Structure 1
Amino acid sequence: MNGLVWREAVSSDHVCVSPQWRSKTWEENRIGPSQVQPGGGPYGPDTCKQGFVWRETRPSDHVCVSVQSRTDNRRANGNAYTGYAHPDQLPANGTHAYWTQYGSQLAVSPSHFDFHGWEPARGYQSGMANFGSYYGDRVVTPRECRQSPNRNMYVLAVDETTGIVSNAGRVAVPLCLYP
């Protein structure tokens, strides 16, 4: 979105943040090696000094930072879907959203992601939860949910461990969630 930039904590980190956040991230990358315990420790050669933890913007991100920085970056990963100006243009990356066989519930895969709706005219919608499973996929609406006959939305999948956002597809708006 306008005014945001990629965080770039590690290569291919495209979580959108403020320019100040990215500068802080680059500074953490620069000084991170000085926060590593000399000689390693119980977590291997990347063990952090007392008071520091791995940033973990990705599972492989072992830059040593404050606990607050790791918490802030985890929150940024979870909210990464809100930073894109055109989420409808994001790649699917193996995600999929669809109405079940009888059109009574919206299902998504893979089930371990968080899912959010985005309507071009209305913006982001919340409310998708876990209402069971359908052939191994997660059902995100209650039983007997009605589909809008004239409104469509995109389902965005967020991998909170990496901040990667995917477009799981365009579907009819579930009126039980978004009247």
Structure 2
Amino acid sequence: MSIYSYKLETIKGERVSMEPYKGKVLVIVNTASKCGFTPQYSDLQKLYEEYKEHGLEILGFPSNQFGEQEPGANSDVQSFCQINYGVSFPLFAKTDVRDETAHPLFKYLTEAAPFEGFDTSEPSGKMLNAFLEEKLPHYLQGNSIKWNFTKFLIDREGRVVNRYESTAEPLDMRGEIERLL
């Protein structure tokens, strides 16, 4: 199965295929509006504005699976992202991204790019790892999404090139994005 085989629901409720993204470099990210990592929307938007003309697409998937940090309706999510961060990249309907109910796209992504741990030399990586070890140790098992703002970088052929955990800043992907473009 290819990444382009999946069908998704946009934030406006339209059923779409991943097929139109063939030939583009993609960043697929699970998001939330009430998370400590929510300000990453700003840098995701910067990357989108800087590279969209060169073939970059950023696809945001709001999820309420992590501390119920995305409680609103899809319309609330869209308004929040536009008003607070000027988000113009495609957003999709609220989506489960882990456990049995995970959308097949996210099961595919996490199999293609396994969890390799958090960078605990950085304060945010150390804090998130400690939080999960104490409060949700089962989240650290396996390759599933660990928290909001896990980012997957996909090349123009649809191959998963890299996985960036929640604690990685979007601009840290810039060099790799430029190489793929």
Question: Does the alignment reach a TM-score above 0.5?
Answer: no
TM-score range (shorter-chain normalised) is: under 0.3
Indicate the structure with greater helix content.
2
TM-score, normalised via structure 2 length: 0.25
TM-score, normalised via structure 1 length: 0.25
